[in-house]
Structure 1
Amino acid sequence: MGGSPATQLTIAARLKAARSAKRMTLDELAAASGVTKGYLSKVERGQSNASVAALIRICEALELQVGSLFDETPVGEVVRAGEYPPIEFGGTQMTEFQLTPTGERRFQVLLSDIAPGGGSGSDTYSLPAEVEFAMVIEGRLHIDFVEGNGSRITLDRGDALTFEADRPHAFHADEQSGAKVLWVLTPALAHRRLAEAAE
Structure 2
Amino acid sequence: MKSLPVHSGSGDPRIGARLRNLRRRNHMTVEQLAAGADLSKGFVSRVERDLTSPSVDALVRLCRVLRVEVGDVFTAESDVDVVRLAEAPLVRLGGEGIREQLVTPSGNRSLQLIRATIAPGGRSEDELYSMDCRHEALHVIAGRFSLITPDRRFELEAGDTVSFPGSEPHGWVNPGETEAVVLWAMAT
Interval of TM-score (by shorter of Structure 1 and Structure 2): 0.5 to 0.7
Greater shift in the superposed pair: 77-86 or 154-163? 77-86
Q: Amino acid of the residue matched to residue 102 of structure 1?
A: S
Q: Which residues of structure 1 form unaligned runs of 5+?
A: 1-52, 57-64, 188-199
The answer as to 2:101 corresponding to 1:100 is no
Which residue is 1:167 aligned to?
168
Which residue is 1:181 aligned to?
182
**What displacement does 1:89 show?**
1.2
3-state SS, counterpart of residue 5 of structure 2: helix
The answer as to 2:86 corresponding to 1:85 is no
Question: Runs in 1 of length 4+ with deviation above 3 angstroms?
Answer: 71-77
8 Å contact kept, 1:72–1:101? no
- Decide which structure has the larger Cα Rg and report it: 2
Which residue is 1:193 aligned to?
none
Q: Which residues of structure 2 form unaligned runs of 5+?
A: 11-78
Sort the Cα spacing of 1:73 and 1:118 in 2 relative to 1 into closer, same or farther, 3 A: farther
Q: Amino acid of the residue matched to residue 113 of structure 1?
A: T
TM-score (norm 1): 0.55
Q: CA RMSD in A?
A: 2.0
TM-score (norm 2): 0.58
Which residue is 1:123 aligned to?
127
8 Å contact kept, 1:141–1:178? no
Which residue is 1:157 aligned to?
158
3-state SS, counterpart of residue 185 of structure 2: strand
Note the alpha carbon deviations across 1:127-157, whole angstroms, 9 max, x for none. Answer: 12111100000100001111xxx21001100
Q: Distance in 2 between matches of 1:99 and 1:66?
A: 13
Q: Distance in 2 between matches of 1:179 and 1:82?
A: 18
Note the alpha carbon deviations across 1:29-80, whole angstroms, 9 max, x for none. Answer: xxxxxxxxxxxxxxxxxxxxxxxx7xx3xxxxxxxx5425xx6565754211
**What displacement does 1:177 show?**
2.3
How many percent of aligned residue pairs carry the same amino acid?
Answer: 31
Sort the Cα spacing of 1:73 and 1:181 in 2 relative to 1 into closer, same or farther, 3 A: farther
Q: How does 1:124-139 map to 2 (within 5 A)?
A: 124-139=128-143
Note the alpha carbon deviations across 1:109-130, whole angstroms, 9 max, x for none. Answer: 0001000111222110011211
**What displacement does 1:83 show?**
2.2
